[in-house]
Amino acid sequence: MESFALKRIAAVASHLTPTAPPPQQQQALSMEATASAAAASVFDHLEQAPEDPILGITVAYNKDPHPGKVNLGVGAYRTEEGKPLILNVVRRAEERLLADRSKNKEYLPITGLADFNKRSAMLILGSDSPAVVEKRLVTAQCLSGTGSLRVGAEFLARHYGVKLVFLPTPTWGNHFKVFMNAGLAVKTYRYYDNKTRGLDYEGMLEDIGAAPSGSVILLHACAHNPTGVDPTPQQWEGIRQAIRNRGHLPFFDSAYQGFASGSLDKDALAVRTFVADGGECFIAQSFAKNMGLYGERVGALSIVSKSSGVATRVESQLKLVIRPMYSNPPIHGASIVALVLGDGDLFSEWTVELKGMADRIISMRHKLYDALRARGTPGDWTHILKQIGMFSFTGLNKEQVQFMTREYRIYMTLDGRISMAGLSLKTVPLLADAIHAAVTGAKA
Amino acid sequence: MASGLVRNGAKRFMSTAAAPASSVPAGARSGWWEAVQPAARDPILGVTEAFLADSDPKKVNVGVGAYRNDEGKPVVLECVRKAEQIIAGKQNMEYLPMGGLVKFNDLSVKLAYGDTAPVLEEKRVAAVQTLSGTGACRLFADFQKRFKPDSRIYIPVPTWANHHNIWRDARVEAHTFRYYKPSTRGLDFEGLMEDLKKAPEGSFVLLHACAHNPTGVDPTADQWKEMSQLFKSNGLFPFFDMAYQGFASGDTVRDAQAIRIFMEDGHQLACAQSFAKNMGLYGQRVGCLSVVCDNSQQAVNVKSQLQQIARPMYSNPPLHGAQIVTTVLSDPELKEQWYKEVKVMADRIIGMREALKSNLEKLGSSLPWKHITEQIGMFCYSGLTEDQVDRLTKEFHIYMTRNGRISMAGVTTGNVEYLANAIHEVTK
């Protein structure tokens, strides 16, 4: 595993089954005692798998009885009151769907809801994108960002000549297994510069240049997870040229469009400039954060190809990946997104709500920065302001994080990543105190 | 819809002409996907596509296995509508755990194994929410490959076509066993036992818990018991695909009898459950995979490993459908209503079987048709050949899969005569 691979924190979270509710009155076959002489299970040799490093944080947080605990682990948006948020437009879309008795729950096609696919693609590419206009595009609805990445990876493992993908260091922890389980080899390219807490641009270009020609290069479209460090437009241009010069295949992970800067178009700029040069690329989109649809698993995989004839064949092969995985995608979340994207009023309102979320996060960055300055916490904390999106890579190390969890009940991943979306005016002071204590080595 | 606002600096890249040659090397310009072949259409889902494209007013869709009422329309169950009203406006949409909604899993396994099943009270069952039945099978197949990499899967002939795709994509070595006997249009029990006796110890065997797809032919209770004994003596692992609990006979307990029989014999089996048909939740993708283990710690281990497979596939399963099922199954009134609605669906299908058979007999068909009413569940394995099926489609606009499988759920009082007539025409 790469060096930033996270071990779960000391708090043990076992997968407890819930207490059984009282037995129900129901006709049931009377059960004779099970044969006690049954052979041992064929799965006897299994060990318990470790907690997922990210999702395990929330598990540990939930188990903590301390009232002042703060969850800065998983990247789910929270309001100022610390509550999850269902967007107004989502509520309204759901109400419409519920009221429409003519709607049924039939299977979607294998590649999902056509209307959703079309609008998702236009959202990221722009409706006047050459890929859209020239029909060089295949879009399949998938299970959020994870599912889109996995289906794309499976397709590459079957049909692409270079079975090697390069991930930035660091990256979202789950990226590794997504590509590896699909059958691709995984390597990394330099990305985050520890010293500047910014982009290691030279290192990135060097590694891209050294990668075998035709490699798949995973790029975070905006709001890099976990660092929040994005290339500037000029740097994106340099990256684009480096990738095209080596004949690499760019695979964008777009999980925060609109959520990073507050502008849908601005956050899509990197993707659009790549598509505009006429080359091919993969794009995985998620509506988990920007539409708050997390648990409904809404996403899309788009493949931009050289010609429309290719697009048809690609789509047919995508179906062969999807069918034995889950047959067809879930209808609920995609219906909501299609409604919102397709209705002028809902869409406008969505952009306002989206900007509201992005602005609150940006304001939390400022508040945290100010609080650290006010405490005279040693170090340069401007990276908190420069980084973008849901996360900030604080630069805190594993020991400091464990200290903060133990003494201040701050739950965050061991790589020093905090979810800015989990902060509020109330909790900023606590976090600032915790960081200050951790950095200065003061005891609680 | 916001159009692509592009800053001037980037505008020069927005032209449709290819970028200057220096920035896109020749190798990249030829495209990477030229060698991609068009894949064959899915044999089942492709039928509905073709049906939808047909404009003939008499067309009949007895292809995909989705329930239709007597007007030929899809049905959303009333208990489901009520559940959705209850859910609406209340929940947040946070990520579920990787293993899905815990309460959903709890209720699912109670439905499959019985509320008071000892394995449940002893917490010996690892259960995770999955993407319907397909997702449950795939998760298990990947799990089998990971922890029993040299094991085989034995698949009945015939079976739902996607079963082969699933275990193939999981890279598990697949073998088959005889199941359907064309001459009787019933179970080839001798062939089944013979083939499974040859399976090496440690092999996994895929069994349809009830309402076998595509044949509708199920073993009797005695036959299940004999199979159970064979599995025990030969060390075979039973994997049940249960997609039609309640839908086959109208009785959820009766439809689970095969599983209960194996459980009584102490097997540690696994089960894939789907709520697509019996709760009409098709597109919501709601299912559950459960694995019976030695003890509760092992169940914890197994569940954690299943989650490790789910995480890089889709992270966590979708919320909405699981909330619906949980609401229905945990509310006594809604659950009662569900039982009634499932029975209505099962009874309508049984009625259509009788109608189709009697219509064919009335038409004077000399062929035997009793298998129509002896088979159970959504499908009837008619015995029609591929040529006969093609004629049905071309001449009569009747759509079914080319193996002669008729989805009885697509048969109505309005089309049963037309269907019988057409079948008679192509078989006389």
Give the Cβ contact number of residue A261 at 10 Å: 20
Q: Residue B20: helix, strand or coil by DSSP?
A: coil
User: What tokens does A384 get?
Assistant: 């908190």
Sort strands B286-292 and B270-274 into parallel, antiparallel or unpaired. Answer: antiparallel
**Cβ(B242)–Cβ(B191) below 8 Å:** no
Query: Residue A23's Cα: distance from chain center in Å?
Result: 40
Contact across the interface for A130 and B304, Cβ inside 8 Å: no
Task: Tell which wins on pLDDT, B30 or A116.
Answer: A116
Contact across the interface for B135 and A86, Cβ inside 8 Å: no
- pLDDT at position B46 is 78
Interface of A with B in 278-317 (CB under 8 A): 278-280, 288, 292-297, 305-307, 310, 312-314, 316-317
> Nearest 5 degrees, angle CA B176-CA B181-CA B187?
85
Condensed to tens digits (0 to 9), the pLDDT of residues A287-307 reads: 999 999 999 999 999 999 988
Q: Alpha-carbon distance B273 to B306, whole Å? A: 15
Q: Alpha-carbon distance B291 to B271, whole Å? A: 7
Q: Taking CB atoms and an 8 Å cutoff, what residues of chain A touch B45? A: 107, 109-110, 323, 328
pTM to 2 decimal places: 0.88
**Cβ(A34)–Cβ(B294) below 8 Å:** no
Q: Alpha-carbon distance A164 to B44, whole Å? A: 34
**Cβ(A173)–Cβ(B312) below 8 Å:** no
Q: Residue A226: helix, strand or coil by DSSP?
A: coil
Contact across the interface for B266 and A35, Cβ inside 8 Å: yes
Q: Is the pLDDT of residue A4 over 50?
A: no
Q: Pick left, alpha or beta for residue B31 (phi over 0 → left; psi -120 to 50 → alpha; otherwise beta).
A: left
Q: Which of A74, A244, A317 sits opposite B36 (nearest CB)?
A: A317
DSSP state of A169: E
DSSP state of B410: G
The mean pLDDT value for A254-277 works out to 96
**Cβ(A4)–Cβ(A170) below 8 Å:** yes
Comparing A73-77, A88-92, A420-424, the range with the smallest average pLDDT is: A73-77
Residue located via tokens 């309402």: B211
Closest CA to B91 of A75, A83, A354: A83
Interface of A with B in 239-258 (CB under 8 A): 240-241, 244-247, 249
Q: Alpha-carbon distance A340 to B64, whole Å? A: 31
Sort strands A70-71 and A198-199 into parallel, antiparallel or unpaired. Answer: unpaired
Residue located via tokens 């200057």: B20
Q: How far is CA B277 from CA B33, B82, B274, in A?
A: 38, 18, 7
Q: Taking CB atoms and an 8 Å cutoff, what residues of chain B touch A324? A: 134, 138, 162, 165-166, 168-169
Q: Is the pLDDT of residue A54 over 80?
A: no
Contact across the interface for B36 and A34, Cβ inside 8 Å: no
Sign, CA dihedral A257-A260-A262-A266, equals negative
Residue located via tokens 């499974």: B196
Side-chain half-sphere exposure of A296, counting CA atoms within 13 A = 28
Q: Does B305 touch chain A (CB under 8 A)?
A: yes
What does the radius of gyration of chain A's CA atoms come to, in whole angstroms? Answer: 23
Q: Taking CB atoms and an 8 Å cutoff, what residues of chain A touch B267? A: 38
Q: What is the ipTM of this complex?
A: 0.87
Q: Alpha-carbon distance A29 to A46, whole Å? A: 32
Q: Alpha-carbon distance A86 to A232, whole Å? A: 32
Q: For residue A71, which phi and psi values (nearest 5 degrees)?
A: -100, 105
Taking every pair of Cα atoms in chain B, the longest distance, rounded to a whole number of angstroms, is 79
Q: Alpha-carbon distance B260 to B349, whole Å? A: 25
The mean pLDDT value for A177-201 works out to 96
Interface of B with A in 397-426 (CB under 8 A): none
Contact across the interface for B134 and A24, Cβ inside 8 Å: no
pLDDT tens digits for chain B (428 residues)?
A: 333 333 433 333 333 333 343 344 434 444 566 667 777 777 777 788 889 899 999 999 999 788 999 998 999 999 999 999 999 876 789 999 999 999 999 999 999 999 999 999 999 999 999 999 999 999 999 999 999 999 999 999 999 989 999 999 999 999 999 999 999 999 999 999 999 999 999 999 999 999 999 999 999 999 999 999 999 999 999 999 999 999 999 999 999 999 999 999 999 999 999 999 999 999 999 999 999 999 999 999 999 999 999 999 999 999 999 999 999 999 999 999 999 999 999 999 999 999 999 999 999 998 899 999 999 999 999 999 999 999 999 999 999 999 999 999 999 999 999 999 999 999 98
Q: Residue B102: helix, strand or coil by DSSP?
A: helix
Q: Does A17 touch chain B (CB under 8 A)?
A: yes
Q: Which of B32, B169, B317 sits opposite A280 (nearest CB)?
A: B32
- pLDDT at position A28 is 38
Contact across the interface for A265 and B298, Cβ inside 8 Å: no
Contact across the interface for B131 and A327, Cβ inside 8 Å: yes
Q: Alpha-carbon distance A75 to A220, whole Å? A: 15
Q: For residue A198, which phi and psi values (nearest 5 degrees)?
A: -135, -155
The share of chain A scoring above pLDDT 70, in percent, equals 90
